[in-house]
Amino acid sequence: MAKSDCRAAAVIVRDGQIALMRREKAGRLYYVFPGGKQESGETAEQAAAREVEEELGLVISVGRLVAQTWYRGRKQLYFECAVTGGQFGSGQGPEMTAPFRPESGTYLPVWLPVTELQRYPVLPRPLIELVQTAQTRGWPSQPLIFREEAE
């Protein structure tokens, strides 16, 4: 299937922990929200749900848009999501099952404590405060909109 330039990702918080993908690539360690490019004929919400199942092995219900950003000219949408099924760590998507390729790096689903996110290299950085604040005050009525600088 053809893919769009839009990346759809899930913000999944459960019991004070957030589901992220631990990435090591080109000698760099960082964490990203599970997600990927929309495929032809699917909505951003459908893409987020598909990617979470492929990467984490979880089935989710996709809620509202909580953030929108652009990174290297590519639109990225982040949705608040809730786990409805599946088994964490059982993802069978191509990035999880393909033979290791150094240029692709590694993918490892992890749960991290929301209260300690500042200690980790989580990308994009502006989402850390948004997620932490949402745990006590709820999600803002409008999505956070920002642009990321290329590193």
What is the CATH classification number for the domain harbouring 137? Answer: 3.90.79.10
Asked if residue 31 belongs to a domain, the reply is yes
Domain that holds residue 143: 3-92+104-147
Asked if residue 98 belongs to a domain, the reply is no
Asked if residue 97 belongs to a domain, the reply is no
Please tell me the total count of domains within the chain. 1
Q: Range with the lowest mean pLDDT among 2-6, 60-64, 67-71, 115-119?
A: 2-6
Cis omega (within 30 of 0) for bond into 99: no
Flag whether pLDDT at 51 surpasses 70.
yes
How confident is the model at residue 95, as a pLDDT?
85
Flag whether pLDDT at 13 surpasses 90.
yes
Asked if residue 120 belongs to a domain, the reply is yes
Give the 3-state secondary structure of residue 133.
helix
Asked if residue 99 belongs to a domain, the reply is no
Half-sphere exposure of 37 (CA within 13 A, CB side): 9
Predicted model pTM: 0.93
Flag whether pLDDT at 15 surpasses 60.
yes
